Amino acid sequence: MLEKGSADPKGRPLEPSEIRKMTEGATSTHLVDFIYWMLGTAARPEAITDMTWEQVDFENNIILLNPLGRKQNKKHRPTVKLPPSLKERYWNNGDYPKTGPVISYNGKEVSTIRTAWRRTRAKVKLDMQVNPYSLRHTAARWMRKEGVPAWDVSAQLGHSSREFSMTERYAPYSPDHMKKSVAALDKLLRQIDTN
């Protein structure tokens, strides 16, 4: 039950089998890529469609969800750890585009995945409550189910804390930063992986 004054969540959480249906039913790789990056980061959909390869630091295993030059706002985009399964899937020993959009269609930036999402959702017969935001809710629920502390889930989702904002700037470089979050998200990604 939601607290008085709170909004209904955007989209319902999904089961791994439903996510697998979406990745297997997708007719375009950009939708599959979007699904994997959403689940691996628990980011908002816009952060993923805006993301460029310059924001993915494969050597330090971090993802800068907030690109350089973008001012943080109330929809905070944190720096998060790169799950090993995403690195395995996209890094290819350094052979990746290195510049340009992470989510692209025919080499061009994708500003929205709505059309591909709707077509795939209809094809695999999932209900209308299944939308791109469902992946963020799925990742958050999964982390809690895997015993990730609420503080870490909050940080992964970009719910910022004023008391630690300066300290948080350097935290992603710590080897154990968000260790439980990234382990939980990596486990989810491996459950849905169809390769």
pLDDT of residue 174: 52
- Once rounded to an integer, what is the mean pLDDT over residues 147-155? 89
For residue 7, being part of any structural domain is answered with no
pLDDT of residue 17: 96
pLDDT of residue 194: 56
Tell me the CA distances in angstroms from 115 to 26, 27, 28, 120, one per residue in order: 11, 11, 11, 9
pLDDT of residue 141: 95
For residue 160, being part of any structural domain is answered with yes
**Are the CB atoms for 27 and 116 separated by under 8 Å?**
yes
For 27-76, write each residue's pLDDT tens digit: 899 999 999 999 999 999 999 999 999 999 999 999 999 998 999 888 88
Counted domains in the chain: 1
For residue 4, being part of any structural domain is answered with no
For residue 3, being part of any structural domain is answered with no
For residue 82, being part of any structural domain is answered with yes
Give the number of other Cβ atoms within 10 Å of residue 151's Cβ.
10
For residue 6, being part of any structural domain is answered with no
Question: Is residue 5 pLDDT above 70, yes or no?
Answer: no
For residue 2, being part of any structural domain is answered with no
Give the number of other Cβ atoms within 10 Å of residue 39's Cβ.
26
**Structural domain range at position 50:** 16-192
For the full predicted model, state whether its pTM sits above 0.85. yes
For residue 8, being part of any structural domain is answered with no
Domain of 62: which CATH number? 1.10.443.10
